[in-house]
C-alpha cells in the first residue's frame, strides 16, 4: 500500500509526540559541617540571705555582712553569730571551689598593729561551710596569724544551682583564749569565693 504525503507527515508528527528519554544530570552534593565552641565558664550572681537564717547579724548591705553586736555587754567576750547565704551560680565544666580569707579571721580594720595584750582577744576566728553540687566542705579562719589563707575543693562535674554558704562565729571565739574579752575596735575580714578551673 502506498502512503500518501499526508500520511507520511502524520507519522512524523506522531514520532515527535512520543516522550523522549531525557538524561538526568548527576546530583551535586556538598557537606557543610557546622561547628561551635562553648568556652569553660563559671558565673555567680549576687549573694543573698536565706530566709530567717541570721543570728546576731544585721543583714547584707551590698555584699557586706555586718555583725549586730560583736561582744557580750557583761563579759566583753565574743557573742555567737551565724548567717546562711546563697549565690545562684553555674559552672559548665568540672571545676574547683576556692575559699580565701584575706586576714585569716576577724582582725582590726584600722590598720593598727595589735599588740598581744595578755588575756585579751585581738582577733576572732570563724568558720565557713560551703555546699555546692553535692560537695560539702568546711573552712576555718583560725585568727592565729594575720595572713591570707585559703582552702580548695574539687567538684567533679558541671553544676548549676544555688551555692550555699554558712558563716559562723562560736560563743567566746578568740585568739587570746576561750571567752577572752575583745579589745576595742572595728573588726573585719574579706571572704572570697572562687569557682575556677582545677
Domains of the chain: 42-196 (2.60.120)
Distance CA 9, CA 29 (A): 46
What is the CA 96 to chain-centroid distance, rounded?
10
pLDDT tier at 113 (50, 70, 90 boundaries)?
low
Residue 154 is predicted with a pLDDT of 94
The mean pLDDT value of the chain amounts to: 88
pLDDT at 4 over 70: no
The mean per-residue pLDDT over the stretch 63-68 comes to 92
pLDDT tier at 117 (50, 70, 90 boundaries)?
confident
Residue 63 is predicted with a pLDDT of 86
* Predicted confidence (pLDDT) per residue in 7-17, tens digit: 444 455 545 55
Distance CA 58, CA 153 (A): 30
Distance CA 79, CA 65 (A): 16
pLDDT tier at 153 (50, 70, 90 boundaries)?
very high
pTM here?
0.80
Distance CA 59, CA 166 (A): 13
Residues counted in the chain: 198
Residue 22 is predicted with a pLDDT of 64
Distance CA 161, CA 149 (A): 27
Amino acid at each position: 500500500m502506498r502512503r500518501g504525503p499526508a500520511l507520511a507527515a502524520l507519522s512524523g508528527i506522531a514520532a515527535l509526540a512520543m516522550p523522549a528519554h531525557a538524561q538526568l544530570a548527576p546530583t551535586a552534593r556538598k557537606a557543610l559541617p557546622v561547628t561551635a565552641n562553648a568556652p569553660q565558664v563559671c558565673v555567680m550572681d549576687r549573694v543573698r540571705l536565706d530566709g530567717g537564717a541570721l543570728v546576731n547579724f544585721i543583714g547584707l548591705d551590698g555584699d557586706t555582712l555586718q555583725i549586730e553586736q560583736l561582744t557580750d555587754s557583761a563579759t566583753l567576750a565574743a557573742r555567737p553569730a551565724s548567717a546562711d547565704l546563697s549565690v545562684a551560680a553555674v559552672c559548665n565544666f568540672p571545676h574547683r571551689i576556692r575559699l580565701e580569707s584575706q586576714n585569716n579571721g576577724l582582725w582590726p580594720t584600722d590598720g593598727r598593729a595589735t599588740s598581744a595584750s595578755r588575756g585579751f582577744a585581738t582577733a576572732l576566728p570563724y568558720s565557713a561551710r560551703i555546699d555546692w553540687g553535692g560537695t560539702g566542705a568546711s573552712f576555718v579562719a583560725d585568727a592565729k596569724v594575720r595572713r591570707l589563707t585559703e582552702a580548695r575543693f574539687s567538684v567533679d562535674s558541671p553544676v548549676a544551682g544555688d551555692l550555699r554558704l554558712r558563716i559562723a562565729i562560736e560563743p567566746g571565739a578568740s585568739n587570746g583564749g576561750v571567752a577572752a574579752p575583745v579589745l576595742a575596735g572595728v573588726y573585719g575580714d574579706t571572704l572570697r569565693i572562687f569557682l575556677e578551673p582545677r
